[in-house]
Amino acid sequence: MTVTAPSVDQPDRLRTRPWPTRGSRLLRLVPAAVSALCGVLLYVSFPPRTLWWLALPAFAGFGWVLRGRRWKASLGLGYLFGLGFLLPLLVWTGVEVGPGPWLALVVVEAVFVALVGLGVAAVSKLPAWPVWAAAVWMAGEAVRARVPFHGFPWGKIAFGQADGVFLPLAAVGGTPVLGFAVVLCGFGLYEAVRVAVEGRRTRGVRTGTAAAALLSVVVPVGGALAARPLVSDKAEDGTVTVAVIQGNVPRSGLEFNAQRRAVLDYHARETKKLAADVEAGKTARPDFVLWPENSSDIDPFANPDASLVIDDAAKAIGVPISVGGVVERNGRLLNEQILWDPAKGPTQTYDKRQIQPFGEYLPLRSLLGAINDNWTTMVRQDFSRGTRPGVFDIGGTGVGLATCYEAAFDWAVRDTVTHGAQMISVPSNNATFDRSEMTYQQLAMSRVRAVEHSRTVTVPVTSGVSAIIMPNGKITQRTGMFVPDYLVQKIPLRSSETPATRLGILPEIALVLVAAGGLGWAIGAGVRVRRATGA
């Protein structure tokens, strides 16, 4: 086939169309570059940095590139935003296992962001579109927190706001309301600028449009300020003195599991050091002690030597210890918290319910084994799921337990409070992820949970960062990484429930319905336009 330039005999619309120049082709790449860079900007707003406010320009830029786009372009731009955000955010998932699982996770998770981009573009021409667009984003988070493999809510917008002005909204409606406010404000900033520029150019703008843009910014900020009285660290049920033990590990990485006895000994040794300091009057005697997840990967019910080490530590400190163990019971492998009394031994247990895919169990085991045998040997036996909420009664104090990965899931933390938790503990093991940002991201989740449910949250970790967090989300004590240490503090106990605790999943359902309504409206309007134009 021969391609020629339009001749003088061709229609004027062809003869006068300019050939694309190199500059115009490069100009078309600007939205793609902006979308990816806005994703990176959103990542930078997350811990360990305290630049929470960068989420607002990130969503403002995302709104700019998506507004009015066709479906193919919006999918691509959404995917680029997702890659820019998730690639650096989740790099810790490949610290010890290589880039393959990290890249695979990001490629899949970014698909959800691409679909959100499609939805945002669809509602972007509706009146008050920032509201519909923010609801669409939250609907995307709701889906991502549930599928595939029971979901992966890491990267919820709320988890980047532990230092932000919007944090009190967590007490109003949990992570959905907090995240919605941030995204709405970001989209609202772009809309306010767009309306202002358009008004200056045309010397006029609809009052309703301007008011909607302004309210999209003012309402989230005003709501956050109005919610501040919900945040309190006042004791309602007295106080207890709690100790958090960080025993450390011989070395970071996956190989720490091969040194299970050393890890157990380290935590027992640090507990005995605490006991000596208590006897010497250097620190207060705790009412109970919290060890991290995997502090005893040797099953103390099957191995008398492990049982003896824990029992000696409990007798030395003279108070109950919550021990993170790996146990096998009736053929089931369980990630279990065990309450070990110095006089009675093990008395209560909690089995982790939200277990980690590809870490504690292997989905699609036969398929992955056919691709690479090494992947199946990393998780030789799948863990089983617990069935009951984790609340220990320790001397009359209700201690809620959300083990490590569970802290990312709204329901796994909330139902400890609804079942009587007056404080929450998040025992974790981050040794596998070395000195990556993972521990700081997870710590931020615990800070959000503290405000969401108005509870003190303790975070005992094998190798760092362990911390004690007040109900207002402030960290009062923390350890370094990969050092043995202990924290002792008197903390307030609380039993009242925040609106977020009482409402449960209802705010998330409401936002999903708003998103569905906006998408339905946008699709209906598009159909009517096509019918009217005969397209």
Could you say which of 96, 352, 437, 452 is catalytic?
352
Q: Rounded to whole angstroms, how far apart are CA atoms 206 and 191?
A: 13
DSSP 8-state code for residue 462: S
Tokens of 97: 């296992």
Sorted by sequence, the CB contacts under 8 Å of residue 72 that are 6+ apart come out as none
Edge-to-edge strands of the sheet including 485-492? 345-351, 332-341, 321-329, 288-290, 239-246, 485-492
Could you say which of 109, 141, 270, 293 is catalytic?
293
Q: Is residue 420 within 8 Å of residue 444, measured between CB atoms? A: no
- C-alpha distances out from residue 484 to 248, 271, 298, Å: 5, 10, 20
Task: Render the burial of 454-493: b for 16+ CB within 10 Å, e for the rest.
Answer: bbbbbbbbbbbbbbbbbbbbebeebbebbebbbbbbebbb
Residue 188, SS3 per DSSP: helix
Beta carbons within 10 angstroms of residue 52's beta carbon: 21
Q: Rounded to whole angstroms, how far apart are CA atoms 374 and 96?
A: 13
Burial, 367: exposed, middle or buried (Cβ in 10 Å; 0-12, 13-18, 19+)? Answer: exposed
Tokens of 164: 């932000």
Q: Which residue has the tokens 């006089």?
A: 343
Burial, 510: exposed, middle or buried (Cβ in 10 Å; 0-12, 13-18, 19+)? Answer: middle
Q: Rounded to whole angstroms, how far apart are CA atoms 476 and 274?
A: 19
CA 292 to chain centre: 20
Could you say which of 404, 437, 452, 508 is catalytic?
404
Active site residue 109: no
Amino acid, res. 508: E
DSSP 8-state code for residue 492: E
* Sheet strands (E) in 198-268: 239-246
Q: Phi/psi at 213 (nearest 5 deg)?
A: -65, -45
Q: Is it true that the peptide bond before 48 is cis, omega within 30 degrees of 0?
A: yes
Active site residue 38: no
Active site residue 404: yes
Q: Rounded to whole angstroms, how far apart are CA atoms 488 and 133?
A: 45
Catalogue the active-site residues. Answer: 293, 352, 404
